[in-house]
Structure 1
């Protein structure tokens, strides 16, 4: 769209004590504005249009990455970590940034913490980390869930069936199952579920 530089703009520039007027190459200068520019001895500078950034560029600036990370963190209040992204879709959670939240209702004087991590994929799968310390928890599971025990051992009861699972074991818990877990020692596990 073309712009016009008219006499009133030139008079305004002159009355404000300015000596330069910047216009882009598509600006139309009216005949009266040209006369006033010459009369007042003003300089007209034609500025180059800003180049549009190539949206398909694979070079993503650090500022863009930071703004994306801030948006993700703002939109997902449960996310308590920093995720690094690149233009190829790689997502890396900075392990030193993970902050755990206390699990309520831990028994036997024990404790538990968790961190849910959401990668923003369309199937709404969640991934998270859990730490348990000499405690017992009972919960009805709302989604199909997989657990991977990365440290320690769990005594796990699902709908009255019980077993002890150790480091390296993978456990599947079907949705709507009533589960009780007892941390026999310090336990760390990874969970994955699909909403």
Structure 2
């Protein structure tokens, strides 16, 4: 009996010393990226879905100057939705003269000189800040149409919005969209 009591006590003592499993999902891993010619900090940040500031802080950078061969620590991307916020990173395009004066999916008449955009799912009237990740230019637009209808694109900007972020000539660019105000 004494031996059994000793074994139970020993087992309880050993079990209390065992490492505990962390609850919840594992923390996202940091990544590394080696800069190549033509890279910009904005482009790298957009590729990984993190802010330029997060990369600067992780690497002790005070500016945006990077050089080929630099090895950058890339922090984990933040959650894409939290507390009512909405963030999406992807390719933007624009549409203009061929649609000017025609009815949009919301029933409004499309005005290529207004700061508006088409998105597949965001409610009409939602205000979205669109930031071009390779140059940092941004514009706030109101969602009033559906689209884009080309694969791998997340938003179609009006001509005026595209002009404001320098998208007219290139036609497409990597952007981050963030909801500024949800429609009511």
Class of the TM-score when normalised by the shorter of the 2 chains? 0.3 to 0.5
TM-score w.r.t. length of structure 2: 0.33
- Where is the strand percentage greater, Structure 1 or Structure 2? 1
Larger radius of gyration: 1
TM-score w.r.t. length of structure 1: 0.31
